[in-house]
Chain A
C-alpha cells in the first residue's frame, strides 16, 4: 500500500511538470523565451505554431505583435548594426488585432495594440531603452570578485540575452585574471554566439554589407581574444595565427588587434614589424586612451627615422600616409564607368529632375538617416 501511494505521488508530480504541457503551450513558452533572449527567427517560428492552436492563439498573436512592434519601431541601434524595419509595422498591428479578436477580454493585448497604434501615428518613436535586468547582469560580470562568481555571472547573462557581449567581456576579464585557457574557451563561445545572434536577426541589418560586417566583427573579436590569451601564455605561434586571423577579418582596421600584433612583434624581437603595427593602430580611430598612450610609448622605444625630424613630426607623417593608403584601397568597381540613370525621387516622392546636374562635377553620397 505504501508502495502504491508512492507511485501515485510520482505520477501526480509528473503531471504537474512542464514536460506535461500541451504542444502548443510548450511552443508558446519556448517562443517567449527565445524572444526574451532576442533570438527572433526561432521565436517567430515557435510563436507562429502556437498561434495556430485555438487555446494559445491570443497569447501567441500578442507575443508576435509585441515582437514586430519592437522590430518595426524600437530596435534602432539597440544592437550594433540594427535598424528599424518599417515592413514589420503592418504585421505588428495585424498580429495584435488578431490577439484581441481571439480573446476580446485580453487586457494586455489591448494595451499592446494601443501602444502600436500610437507608434504608428507618431512622428518618431524612441528606440527601446536598455533592459535593466541585462544591465544588472553586465554589472555583475564587471564587478565579479573571483573567477567562480565571474563564470556564474556570464552564464546568467548569456541565458537572459543571447548576444555575444558577456562572453567577450568575460574572456577579457579572465585574461586579466590570468585564466588563459578559460578565456580562450569563453572567447570561442562568444564567436559562436555572435554568428547565431546575427543569423537570428538578419533582417535587422537591412544591407548585406552591414550583416557581413557584423559577422566579421564578432569573429574578429573572438579570434583577437583567443590570440591575446595565447600571447599571455607565451604560445607565440598560436597567438600569431589567431591575431592574424582577426587582422584579416577586420581588414587591419581594428585598433586593439593592431596593438596586440604590435606587442607580439615586439616580444619576438621584430622591431620593424612592431613599428608598423603600432602605427597602423594609432592611425585608426578608437581604442582606449591608456592603450593609445602605450602604443605611442612603445614607438618611442623602437629605433626609427624619428630621430632626424623629431618624434611628433615623424608620427604625424606616418599616420597621414597610412590614412591616405586606406583611402586609396577603398576605391573600386563603378569607377571609370558611366553613371547609370538612377530612378530618383524628391524627398516627398515626386520625380527628381537631374537635368541641372549635367556637365557638372558631382559628389553622390548614398546615406540613410539610420
Chain B
C-alpha cells in the first residue's frame, strides 16, 4: 500500500524495487485515519477472517529480518 502523492516517483521506485507482491495506492490521510498509524512504514497482519491481528510501526521493530516477518505469517496460518 503506497501512500505516495507523487505517482511518477512511485512508478520509478517500483520499477527499481521490482516487488514480488501486488502494490496498491491509497491516500495518505485516509490510510492514516482508517488504519490508525502515524508513521511509515506501518505493517498490518490480517487473518483469514479479515481481523487485524498484528500491527507493527516502523522498520526497527521487525523489518530487519525475513525470519521475523515469517513469524507473524506463520502464527496466522496455524
Set A209, A212, A358, A368: member contacting B50, Cβ < 8 A: A358
A335 touches B28 (CB 8 A): no
Main secondary structure of the interface of A (DSSP, over half): loop
Contacts of B34 in A (CB 8 A): 340, 342
Nearest-CB distance from A202 to chain B (Å)?
Answer: 14
Contacts of A208 in B (CB 8 A): 38
A333 touches B55 (CB 8 A): yes
A370 touches B9 (CB 8 A): yes
A86-B6, A345-B25, A361-B73 known; A334 and B39 CB under 8 Å? no
Main secondary structure of the interface of B (DSSP, over half): mixed
Set B9, B35, B55, B62: member contacting A340, Cβ < 8 A: B35
B25 touches A253 (CB 8 A): no
Nearest-CB distance from B70 to chain A (Å)?
Answer: 10
A326-B60, A326-B61 known; A369 and B51 CB under 8 Å? no
- How far, in whole Å, are A123 and B42 apart by their CA atoms in the complex? 28
Q: For window 206-222 of chain A, which residues contact chain B by CB distance below 8 Å?
A: 206-210, 212-213
B4 touches A209 (CB 8 A): no
Q: For window 313-352 of chain A, which residues contact chain B by CB distance below 8 Å?
A: 326-327, 329-340, 342-349, 352
A347-B2, A370-B9 known; A365 and B39 CB under 8 Å? no
B60 touches A366 (CB 8 A): no
Within 8 Å of chain B (Cβ to Cβ): is A285?
yes
- How far, in whole Å, are A358 and B40 apart by their CA atoms in the complex? 25
B73 touches A352 (CB 8 A): no
A346-B25, A362-B46 known; A369 and B10 CB under 8 Å? yes
Please, how many residues of chain B have a CB less than 8 angstroms from a CB on the other chain?
57
Within 8 Å of chain B (Cβ to Cβ): is A360?
yes
Nearest-CB distance from A345 to chain B (Å)?
Answer: 5
- How far, in whole Å, are A87 and B68 apart by their CA atoms in the complex? 37
A343 touches B55 (CB 8 A): no
B40 touches A207 (CB 8 A): yes
- How far, in whole Å, are A358 and B44 apart by their CA atoms in the complex? 15
Contacts of A289 in B (CB 8 A): none
Set B11, B31, B41, B53: member contacting A342, Cβ < 8 A: B31
Contacts of A329 in B (CB 8 A): 61
Contacts of A209 in B (CB 8 A): 37-40, 57
Set B9, B31, B54: member contacting A366, Cβ < 8 A: B31
Contacts of B56 in A (CB 8 A): 327, 330-331
Within 8 Å of chain B (Cβ to Cβ): is A363?
yes
- How far, in whole Å, are A34 and B41 apart by their CA atoms in the complex? 33
B52 touches A336 (CB 8 A): yes
Contacts of A370 in B (CB 8 A): 4, 9
Contacts of B23 in A (CB 8 A): 347
Contact with A along B3-26 (1 / 0, CB 8 A): 111111111111000000001111
Set A84, A327, A364: member contacting B46, Cβ < 8 A: A364
B3 touches A364 (CB 8 A): no
B40 touches A367 (CB 8 A): yes
Set B2, B48, B52, B54: member contacting A367, Cβ < 8 A: B2
B3 touches A363 (CB 8 A): no
Contacts of A210 in B (CB 8 A): 39-40
Set B25, B53, B73: member contacting A347, Cβ < 8 A: B25
Nearest-CB distance from B67 to chain A (Å)?
Answer: 11
- How far, in whole Å, are A84 and B5 apart by their CA atoms in the complex? 10
- The chain B residue sitting closest to A212, CB to CB, is B38
- How far, in whole Å, are A364 and B64 apart by their CA atoms in the complex? 16
- How far, in whole Å, are A245 and B74 apart by their CA atoms in the complex? 38
30 CB contacts below 8 A, A to B, read A84-B9, A124-B9, A209-B57, A210-B40, A213-B39, A285-B64, A327-B61, A330-B58, A331-B56, A335-B55, A339-B51, A342-B1, A342-B35, A343-B27, A347-B7, A347-B11, A358-B50, A359-B48, A361-B73, A362-B44, A362-B45, A362-B46, A363-B73, A364-B35, A366-B2, A366-B31, A366-B42, A367-B41, A368-B4, A369-B13
Chain B contacts to A: CB under 8 angstroms: 1-14, 23-28, 30-32, 34-48, 50-58, 60-62, 64, 68-69, 72-73, 76-77
